Amino acid sequence: MKIFTPLPGEYVASALQRGNEMLGLKDLTRKDFYIKPVPRKGYGYALGDKYEGRNHAIFQFPHFFTERHMSGEVLQNHTLYPLTTALGRTRADIVVTPVVWRKICPGCALENFESYGTVYVHSRHVPASVRVCSVHGLKLMDTCTTCSTPINKHQLSKLGVCSRKYQFMFEESDSFSLTYSKFIADLLKYDGPPPRAHQADWAIFSSIRLKYGNEIKQDDEFIPNFIKSEFGVDVKHPARTYSDNNYTILAFLGCETAERYLNLIFNTTESSRLGKDLKSLYYGL
Ligand SMILES: [Zn+2]
Ligand SMILES: [Zn+2]
């Protein structure tokens, strides 16, 4: 027996966790919500794979979702899948259901408790590099400021009562972190086809070269150092094997908004302008 009634934008694990709490069951394990990318089986494995390999990810779902025919809905609306798809990431190392997921925005907590009678975790807060809420601009909490319980040990059903005191704890964030959170939140609304990986690479790395060309000219390590100081993570450079998290950061550094990124992928006027701008910057053409 399970209860699964996800709320708007709710992360899959959060909805399952709330259901377990209602039933008095113990905490979730990873396998309850792990949606596993299936590795490619080589060229010519299936129709459409012949020339370039398949261009979309395939997943294995927990039994609970497949038997209820809700896999597609869960994937699209309650995981990081739209983000990985928008960025053209289709390989077996993508992570659409991170195992670390419990972060709470005090503003969302208050509002959600008022509207839905419960606090829940939003998918847009789940990526490791997201530190503030894209809607409220508030720092995400990993410890409940009311009862001092770490959020990863806190019953979601008890956050409602605790959240009533959060209104006195608001702390504004810097605009860089906020713009990044909006970039993630907007790409999580993406429901189109995945661009080819090389298209995404081109849009992202050309934008970075255009924007930071001078800095990179003076210091090869400018981008990795910048990312280290802003996000606290190491980006191997250059590499074809960026983690989802690092690739998303690079996409943001280059494009800044989801709209700009998607225009570079789908709008030929915008992408050819970028090509021209790059040429004139590097060759004076
Ligand atoms: Zn919020
Ligand atoms: Zn609490």
Tens digits of residue pLDDT in 156-204: 999 999 999 887 656 667 889 999 999 999 999 999 999 999 999 999 9
What is the average pLDDT value for the chain, to the nearest integer? Answer: 90
Ligand nearest to the CA of 165: 2
| pLDDT tens digit sequence for 247-263 | 999 999 999 999 999 99
Phi/psi of residue 37, nearest 5 degrees: -65, 140
Q: What is the pTM of this model?
A: 0.92
Cα separation, 182 vs 162, whole angstroms: 27
Residues with CB under 5 A from ligand 1 (ion): 105, 107-108, 133, 135-136
Categorize the per-residue pLDDT at 218 as very low, low, confident or very high, splitting at 50, 70 and 90.
very high
CA of 7 to the centre of ligand 1 (A): 15
Q: Is 53's pLDDT higher than 80?
A: no
Neighbours of 96 (CB within 10 A): 23
CA 140 – ligand 2 centroid, Å: 14
Q: Which residue has the higher pLDDT, 38 or 27?
A: 38
pLDDT of residue 47: 46
Cα of 134 from ligand 1 centre, angstroms: 7
* CA 122 to centroid of ligand 1, rounded, Å: 9
Strands 59-60 and 36-37 turn out to be: antiparallel
E runs forming strands in the chain: 36-37, 59-60
pLDDT digits (tens, 9 = 90+) for 262-283: 999 999 999 999 999 999 887 7
Q: What is the pLDDT of residue 56?
A: 81
Instruction: Render pLDDT for 86-135 as a digit per residue (tens, 0 to 9).
Output: 999 988 889 999 999 999 999 999 999 999 999 999 999 999 999 999 99
pLDDT of 241 reads 74
The C-alpha atoms of residue 211 and residue 255 are separated, in whole angstroms, by: 9
Predicted pLDDT of residue 1: 76
Q: Cα(112) to centroid of ligand 1, in Å?
A: 9
Q: Residue 9 — very low, low, confident or very high, per pLDDT cuts 50/70/90?
A: very high
Query: Residue 90: its pLDDT value, please?
Result: 85
Maximum distance among all Cα pairs of the chain, rounded to whole angstroms:
68
Give 267's contacts (C-beta < 8 A, 6+ positions apart).
Answer: none
Q: What would the pLDDT profile of 222-232 be if each residue is shown by its tens digit?
A: 999 999 999 98
pLDDT for the residue numbered 108: 95
Contact criterion met (CB below 8 Å) for 105 and 125:
yes
Has residue 49 got a pLDDT over 60?
A: no
Query: What DSSP state is assigned to residue 6?
Result: P
CA distance 129 to 108: 19
Q: What is the mean pLDDT of residues 4-15?
A: 97
